[in-house]
Structure 1
C-alpha cells in the first residue's frame, strides 16, 4: 500500500522490457551513424541500424506517458508542485549532471575549451546539445512542465479525438521535417530556436505521448484488446515496418538519394515513420503481455530494462572510445566490424550501468541520484 492507503497497482513487466529494447534501438541508430561513414556500407545493414530501429526514441515517450498515467488518478486534481519536484529529482538533475559530464569529457578528449563559455553552456542545456542523445531528456522535461495539458487531453480523449490528433500530428511532423527551412533567417537567436526545434519541441511527439497516457488510463480495455486482436496488432506492425522500409528503398533507388539522405528522410517523423512508431509500440506491448517468456530471456530483458536509463545516457562515451580504438588499429568499419562495434557498445554500456548502480548502492548513493535519479530509501 502507498502512503494514502490505496492498493498499489501491479507492476507491468512489458514497460520495463520495452525500455530495454528502446535502448538497444537507440544505440543501433548511433552505431549506424558510424557505419555509414564507410562509402561501401551495406544498404541493408544500414536499414537494420537506422530504419528498423526508428521507433526507439518516440516509444520512450509512449512508455513515459504510460508510466505517468498508470499511477495517476485521472479524476483527481494534479498536485503540480509535488509532481514537478519529483520529476526534477528523476530527470532534470540527471540531465544537468550528464550534460556537464559530457562537457568535461569533450574538453578532456578533444580540448574543446570553448564549451566552458557560460553562454555556450546555457545554450547546450536549453537545446540538449551537450551530447547527441540528450535532446530526448529536454523534450521529456517539456512534457512534464506541460503535464496539466496532457492530463486534460487524456481525460477527454476518445477514438475520434485521437484520430484527429493523429492526422494533425502527421501534418505537423511533415511540415516541420520536409517544408520548414529556417536556415535563411537572419536573426541568429530565432534561427537557432528553429534549427534545433527537434531538440525541444514536444509538438513532434504529442500523439504518441497522449496515446500512451490514454492506454494507461484504459488499461483494462487495452488488455482485452491485446488479447483478442494479437494477430491484427502483429500484422499492423509488420505492414508499417514494410512501409517504412519501402520508403527508404524508394529514396535510394527511385529518388537516387545517398544513404545519409535516405535515412534522414525515412525517419520517425515521416508519415510512414509515425505509423511504424504506433505499430511497434502496440506490438511490443502486446507480445510482452501475451507471451510467456523463457526464464533466461525474461532475465535478459529485465536486466536491459533495469539498466536502460544509464546505458542510454552513457553509450556515446563507449562509441567515442571504441571508434578511437578502431582508428588506432587502422580498422575499417565494415559490416562485421560494425556489428561487433554495436555489441561492444551495448555490453560496455550495460556493464557500466550495473557497476555504477552497485557501487552507488553499496558505498556512494549520490552517484545514482545524479546519474539516474534513483534515491536511497530512508
Structure 2
C-alpha cells in the first residue's frame, strides 16, 4: 500500500472547491433577492469539505503510523508543529496585519489578546481548521491506541459505537442548553469557542481516514464493487440535507443564516452527507482517467491546496471591498463569476508563491511549513 496516492490526494482539490464555495456563499446574503438554491449549493452542499480534510489527515497519519507501530511523540509533534504550526502562526499574523491596515484600530496588539486569537483560531474565519488539526496532532497517540483497540475488539463494533457516539456528541455540542454567562471567563471562552478547537467533533471522520489507510486495498475494492450503492447513498444524503433545508425554509420560515447554522457539517444531515461524499468522490476518482481534463484541474487544485486555502479569504475581502466601492449589486451570475475568479486568483497566487519559495527556502518554510527539496516546489 503506497503512503500517498492520487485518489486521496485529489480529495484536497475537490475539498478546496467546497471551502471556497462556503465562503463565497456569504455574497448571496448581499443580494436584493437572495437565491435560496444558490445559497444551499454554496453554503450547505459544500459542507463536506471541512470534515473531508480531517479524513485526509487521518489517512496520512495512519499510513505513516500503523496501529501496531510506536509513535515517538516528541519527534512526531516537532514535525507537525513545523508543517502546520509555523504556517498557522505566520498566516494568522499576516491577516491581523492586513485587517489592521484596512480597518485601523480593529485589532488590539496586546500579547494577551494575540494569544487569545491564536489559541481559538480567530485571526481570520477560516484558520480554526488548523487549530483543530493541531489538536488532532497533540492527541494523536490516543487515537492511535484507540484504533489498535478497535482492531482487537472488532472494527465493525468499534466504528459502529463511535458512529453513534459521534452523532450524540455533535448534537449535544450544537444544542447544549447551557448558559455560558454563568461560567468563569476562562470556561466561558472554552465553551463559546468549542467548535474552534475540539477535535472530538470530527473524530469519526478522522478515524475513517485511518481505516481507509490501514485497509486501503479493501477500501477501494469495496467502494468500486459497490459503486451503485455508494451512488444511492450519496443521492439519499443529498436529498436528506437538501430536503431538510427546504422543509424548514418553506414551512418554518427559517432565514438563510439560521438554515446554514442548523444544517452545517455537525448536524445529522451534514454528518451523513460528509461520509457519503467521501465515499462517492473516492469511488468516482478510482474510476476516472488521470488524463481527464476535470481530474487534471482537480489535481492542480490539490497540489496548490494549502496556499489556496490560506490565501483565498484575502482575495475574497479585496473583491468584496471593490464591489462595495463600485456599487455592484450582487446577482446569482455575478456571485458565480466571483467564485470562479476567486479560484483562479488563489491558484495563481499559490503557483507564484511556490516559485518564490523555491528561491527563498525560509519563505517557503514560513508560508507552508516545508522547505523545497529541489528547484521546483
Using the size of structure 2 for normalisation, the TM-score is 0.95
Quote how far apart the aligned CAs of 1:156 are: 2.6
Aligned counterpart, 1:248: 245
Aligned CA-pair RMSD: 1.5
Aligned counterpart, 1:334: 331
- Whether 1:15 and 2:11 are equivalent positions in the alignment is no
Report the Cα distance in structure 1 between the residues aligned to 2:318 and 2:372, rounded to whole angstroms. 31
Aligned counterpart, 1:78: 71
Aligned counterpart, 1:58: 51
Quote how far apart the aligned CAs of 1:89 are: 1.0
Structure 2 residue runs without a partner (length 5+): none
Aligned counterpart, 1:365: 361
Runs of 4+ in 1 over 4 A off after TM superposition: none
Between 198-207 and 104-113, report the one with greater CA deviation.
Answer: 104-113
Quote how far apart the aligned CAs of 1:39 are: 4.6
The change in CA–CA distance for 1:260 and 1:289 in structure 2 (over 3 A counts) is same
Q: Does the aligned pair in 2 maintain the 1:226–1:290 contact within 8 Å?
A: no
Alignment counterpart, residue 320 of structure 2, candidates 318, 323, 326: 323
- Whether 1:87 and 2:80 are equivalent positions in the alignment is yes
Q: Does the aligned pair in 1 maintain the 2:67–2:148 contact within 8 Å?
A: yes
Report the Cα distance in structure 2 between the residues aligned to 1:248 and 1:113, rounded to whole angstroms. 35
Q: Does the aligned pair in 1 maintain the 2:233–2:276 contact within 8 Å?
A: yes
The change in CA–CA distance for 1:300 and 1:139 in structure 2 (over 3 A counts) is same
Q: Alignment length, in residue pairs? A: 370
The change in CA–CA distance for 1:193 and 1:39 in structure 2 (over 3 A counts) is farther
Structure 1 residue runs without a partner (length 5+): 1-7
Q: Does the aligned pair in 2 maintain the 1:153–1:210 contact within 8 Å?
A: no
Between 257-266 and 112-121, report the one with greater CA deviation.
Answer: 112-121
Between 35-44 and 14-23, report the one with greater CA deviation.
Answer: 35-44
Aligned counterpart, 1:376: 372
Quote how far apart the aligned CAs of 1:67 are: 1.2
Quote how far apart the aligned CAs of 1:262 are: 0.9
How do 1:58-207 and structure 2 match up within 5 A? 58-112=51-105, 114-157=107-150, 158-207=155-204
Report the Cα distance in structure 2 between the residues aligned to 1:317 and 1:115, rounded to whole angstroms. 20
Quote how far apart the aligned CAs of 1:185 are: 2.7
How do 1:201-280 and structure 2 match up within 5 A? 201-280=198-277
Report the Cα distance in structure 2 between the residues aligned to 1:13 and 1:102, rounded to whole angstroms. 32
Q: Does the aligned pair in 1 maintain the 2:32–2:330 contact within 8 Å?
A: no
